[in-house]
Chain A
């Protein structure tokens, strides 16, 4: 996030796109709702009428995967009606001309054919955005989990720059991160192309710095593989040994049948986890790890805030902290690492190596933590980025993008769009929430959410068992007939193995980020005749 949660209840305008915040980020949503009760406007862009829609001033119920057409059309109107922020565009950005050329084609009359939103509503939204500033744009995986995910992200940034909503309090582009420490895992360099602190692999200065710090020679200079490439490699034989730490890939990746084939192909698979799960079935070695409250450490939330995690009770049996396990393997492969606690790792190593974390030390994290960038120990941290239009690489660049449809769209055989996500009560594959007393009582099984209209046409009753199938698999699942989804759409989560949406989802990926298109594939639904 460029901005922070504590700006939410002061904001006057929100554009929330592809984010079911009340379920996926419930506490963040409470601040948005507070703002709305205090008079802020909320523009919701989402195929579903989920709970946040009750609070929306305007709701553009776009078709799944049409975000770019919709956003380009907003920009078309802003430019055509001369409503954009000229001062910001002129002084802080480049590429405006190219943007204008691209969005030229996306008149509301043209875009409506793609996104299904009435031209008048598109115009109204553009005008409201121009009238009330700044606006906080928030998105979640509804933007990223598409084959055009990267372009979706770029579009949201284009819009906010055009409106001059960057570098200001209560503005910005704010992805709410799905998992508690996705931000942190990225910051730590658990990515194939960057070292900790986003220093590029292959950059000679960065390489030299890490070689010296880690006391090794010749760090590898070429970018590594991303998860889908690793999985392919298991089958092709390019990857022989695979180390999975804390992920239940067998349920979380698209097309479970394919994923399980890939996992089964591993010559040597190590799983490090707190429970056995569907993925550990394929392991050759399983290493027992300490969980959340059995460790001292830090998490970094969506707003770049580093907060402490503290030990409440010891791990069971011989389970060990994860950092300890990695250190022990390193030792048995010939390297002694000095740091011997999370605190030593942070204070003595990684904060020294990552410039944006340089000023953050455990001693400073007792209260509310610190938001990076925090370059020095007397720096108070950073609530919002790009202050006064200062982008990290100079001027903000407009990157105009064209709309592209999802990789798989409905057809005669598979006439529905399946979109997937999370529900409030559970988290991912339920390895944790499924083992908490009471949570299964609130939500004990998966459902396929379908519209009243489709249920009516097909004669499907609330709670009736139906078959949902795609080109990759099928599941039997109870129908949940709801006003939340529009007709033509099925919505499911991946919390329960039995009717996990990932038996159906499409392993098609964004060509740059390799994010899978969890949000769109084609399915058919069938009544089960008995």
Chain B
């Protein structure tokens, strides 16, 4: 049996159980969302995804309304657009959303900007500028930020954690981080706390993250649609406009998570999980997300080193070092045979390195004394 509905005048078939949002997305019709986290039960809290359904009295949230046969849906009608505008205006007024949105004709804009920047301890726009769904939607719907007066957040930003900055003044209470923590990574560290205008995302006992169950996987940052959760190391070091994204594989454990390296001016400035990729489907752990900057350590070996008679190391050219190794190896082979040489390869390095090392031992040195820590 075929079942179908109408979206913006087009007829689409769907499977029972699909939401309006899912049917629309399957046909490349974009309905904006904020609180909805793909794959999880919709909470329907932000209502930005509302659509107009013929004969329904009120607008319906597309992310949690099941598609029904014969439904006639409009995703960008005048009523829908006006409702979305109001939602966005309220959200923008609810915190330090200083991304330089249009409509700042009143004189208080610069006062606002100055207050926010002093709270941020920075002379920049929001650290999520350019990577914020709220900002994107405000632009898309040409929302002016001055219809409602700004209500400063009752909570100070939490700067004292390693790795993660929690800025409650930019939190729109969408709940994505709570779902990411409880339903995706299942670390159960954060939840909604308090009520009404005091509502806040809290870790256990409303303490800082580092004193809670939090394991700093950073899934919440990746889920946050605004600048409320940001990587401490990437804060102001990163803007998407001049950043290149390079896909790679995590260098730590054997899961092999797929990562985006965000590279700015030739430096990795942050790492995120590749959504929908195998095997990790966007997820990373603390090492995968935050364990990248060792490559820029001043301690890196930069030239070959050769040990002197007195035991200290001196710098050497590649040519000198390579000849030294080759000649000593040849000498050892001549004196004691190839089996007097042995090598240990690296289980952290790329396949091609291990291949070449075993080839060096087998084909050149002529021994099978090649191993790696396969068993640890």
Complex Cα distance, B321 from A349, in Å, reads 27
> Would B258 and A300 count as touching, CB distance under 8 A?
no
CB distance from A510 to the nearest CB of B (A): 8
Is the beta-carbon distance between A329 and B304 smaller than 8 angstroms?
A: no
Q: Is the CB of B369 within 8 A of A239?
A: yes
* A224 engages B369 (CB within 8 Å): yes
Cβ–Cβ contact B342 & A187, under 8 A: no
- Quick one: which of B247, B253, B321, B365 contacts A310, CB cutoff 8 A? B247
The yes or no answer to A195 lying at the interface (CB within 8 A) is yes
B373 near A195: Cβ-Cβ < 8 Å: no
Give CA–CA (A189, B256) in the complex, Å: 20
B352 touches A176 (CB 8 A): no
Rounded to whole angstroms, the CA-CA distance of A195 and B354 in the bound complex is 11
Restricting to B339-364, which residues have a CB under 8 Å from any CB of A? 339-364
Of A273-281, A404-412, A481-489, which binds chain B?
A: A273-281
A300–B294 Cα distance when bound, in Å, is 22
Across the interface, do A318 and B354 meet the contact criterion of CB distance under 8 Å? Answer: no
Neighbouring B residues of A431 by C-beta, 8 Å: 294
Residue in B291, B313, B316, B362 whose CB lies within 8 Å of A436: B291
Given contacts A286-B301, A317-B302, contact A442 B210 (CB under 8 A): yes
Contact with B along A469-497 (1 / 0, CB 8 A): 00000000000000000000000000000
Given contacts A300-B351, A346-B351, are A219 and B346 in contact (CB under 8 A)?
A: no
Which of chain A's residues have a CB closer than 8 A to the CB of B369? Answer: 192, 224-225, 230, 239
- The verdict on A319 contacting B302 (CB below 8 Å), with A6-B279, A515-B375 known, is yes
A181 and B348 within 8 A (CB): yes
Complex alpha-carbon distance, A28 and B283, angstroms: 10
**Size bracket of the A interface:** 35 or more
A287 contacts B321, C-beta separation under 8 Å: yes
Contact of B345 among A141, A185, A225, A434 (CB under 8 A): A185
- Given A245-B353, A285-B306, check contact A293 B248 (CB 8 Å): yes
A442 to B232, CA, bound (A): 14
Instruction: Judge if A284 is at the interface, Cβ distance under 8 Å.
Output: yes
Residue in B268, B279, B306, B364 whose CB lies within 8 Å of A330: B364
Count of residues in B whose CB is under 8 Å from the partner chain: 111
Residue A5 lies at the interface, judged by CB distance under 8 Å to chain B: yes
Q: Is A238 an interface residue (CB 8 A)?
A: yes
Specify which chain B residues have a CB less than 8 angstroms from the CB of A25 in the assembled complex.
253-255
Q: In chain B between 290 and 331, which residues have their CB closer than 8 angstroms to a CB of chain A?
A: 290-295, 297, 299-307, 313, 316, 318, 321-330
Contacting residues, chain A, for B196 (C-beta < 8 A): none
| A286 pairs with B313, CB closer than 8 A | yes
B201 contacts partner chain A, Cβ-Cβ < 8 Å = no
Chain B nearest Cβ from A196, distance in angstroms: 6
Residues A177 and B340 in contact, CB atoms below 8 Å apart: no
Residues of the B chain whose Cβ atoms lie less than 8 Å from the Cβ of A145? 375-376
Name the contact of A224 in the complex, choosing from B293, B294, B336, B370 (C-beta under 8 A).
B370
On chain B, the residues within 8 Å of A180 by CB distance are 249-254, 256, 347-348
Chain A 24-59 interface residues, beta-carbon cutoff 8 Å to B = 24-28, 30, 33-34, 37, 55
Of A182, A285, A305, A313, the contact of B321 (CB 8 Å cutoff) = A285
* A181–B355 touching, CB < 8 Å: no
- Digit string of B4-45 for contact with A (CB within 8 Å is 1, else 0)? 000000000000000000000000000000000000000000
Residues of B within 8 A of A308 (CB): 247-249
Residues of chain A lying within 8 A (CB to CB) of residue B374: 182, 185-186, 190-191
Whether A247 lies near B346 (C-beta < 8 A) is yes
| A231-249 near B? 1/0 per residue, CB < 8 Å | 0010000111111111101
Q: Does A390 contact B (CB under 8 A)?
A: no
Q: Nearest Cβ in chain B — how far from A356, in angstroms?
A: 13
Q: Is B278 an interface residue (CB 8 A)?
A: yes
Residue of B nearest to A22 (CB): B215
User: When the two chains form their complex, are residues B287 and A433 in contact, meaning their CB atoms are under 8 A apart?
Assistant: yes
What number of A-B contacts does a CB cutoff of 8 Å give?
A: 463
Contact partner, B300, options A191, A301, A317, A330, Cβ 8 Å: A317
Could you tell me the distance in whole angstroms from the C-beta of B365 to the nearest C-beta in chain A?
8
Assess whether B368 is interfacial by the CB under 8 Å rule: yes
Which residues from chain A contact B162 at a C-beta distance below 8 Å? 438-439, 441-442
> Among A223, A273, A275, A329, which residue has the most Cβ atoms of chain B within 10 A?
A329
A312 interface residue (CB < 8 Å to B)? yes
A5–B255 touching, CB < 8 Å: yes
Q: Counting CB contacts under 8 A, is B286 at the interface?
A: yes
Would B329 and A368 count as touching, CB distance under 8 A?
Answer: no
Interface residue stretch chosen among A101-109, A320-328, A448-456:
A320-328
Q: Which of A28, A141, A249 contacts B255 (CB 8 A)?
A: A28
Whole-angstrom distance between the alpha carbons of A76 and B140 in the complex?
67
Most buried by A among B278, B338, B360, B368: B368
Query: Beta-carbon contacts of A261-305 to B below 8 Å, as 1s and 0s?
Result: 000000110100111100000011111110111110111111101
Contact B299 A276 (CB under 8 A): yes
Q: Are A427 and B291 in contact, with the CB atoms below 8 A?
A: yes
Whether A345 pairs with B345 at a CB distance below 8 angstroms is no
Determine how close the nearest CB of chain B comes to the CB of A77; give it in whole angstroms.
Answer: 31
Q: Is A183 among interface residues, defined by CB-CB distance under 8 A? A: yes
Partner of B364, one of A181, A227, A244, A335: A335
Binds B, one of A79-87, A117-125, A210-218: A210-218
Q: What's the minimum C-beta distance from B332 to chain A, rounded to whole angstroms?
A: 5
Residues from chain B with Cβ under 8 Å of A34 in the complex: 183-184, 186
Output the least CB separation between B222 and chain A (Å): 13
Bound complex: CA of A293 vs CA of B250, how far in Å? 9
How long is the Cα–Cα vector from A302 to B338 in the complex, in angstroms? 33
A-chain residues with CB within 8 Å of residue B354 when the two chains form the complex: 181, 184-185, 188-190
Which of B295, B301, B359 is close to A214, meaning CB atoms less than 8 Å apart?
B359
Is A369 close to B, CB under 8 A?
yes
Contacts of B183 in A (CB 8 A): 34, 37
B284 contacts the other chain (Cβ, under 8 Å)?
Answer: yes
Task: Output the least CB separation between A37 and chain B (Å).
Answer: 7
Contacting residues, chain B, for A359 (C-beta < 8 A): none
Chain A residues with CB under 8 A of B253: 24-26, 176-180, 427
Of B248, B267, B360, the residue contacting A309 (CB under 8 A) is: B248
A308-B249, A326-B360 given; A252·B373 CB < 8 A: yes
Q: Cβ of A437 < 8 Å from any Cβ of B?
A: yes
Closest 5 CB pairs of A and B: A317-B302, A301-B256, A297-B350, A246-B346, A224-B368
Binding site for B on A (CB under 8 A): 4-6, 22, 24-28, 30, 33-34, 37, 55, 141, 144-145, 149, 176-193, 195-196, 201, 210, 214, 216, 218-220, 222-227, 230, 233, 238-247, 249, 252, 267-268, 270, 273-276, 283-289, 291-295, 297-303, 305-314, 316-323, 325-330, 332-335, 337, 342, 345-346, 349-350, 367-369, 424-427, 431-439, 441-442, 510, 513-516, 518
Could you list which residues of chain B lie within 8 angstroms of chain A, going by C-beta atoms? 162-163, 183-186, 210, 215-217, 232-233, 246-258, 261, 263, 266-268, 277-280, 283-288, 290-295, 297, 299-307, 313, 316, 318, 321-330, 332, 335-336, 338-376
Further pairs besides A224-B370, A285-B316: 17, Cβ < 8 Å: A28-B255, A30-B184, A33-B185, A177-B253, A184-B350, A184-B354, A188-B355, A192-B368, A192-B370, A220-B339, A273-B301, A285-B324, A309-B350, A323-B352, A325-B322, A332-B325, A434-B294
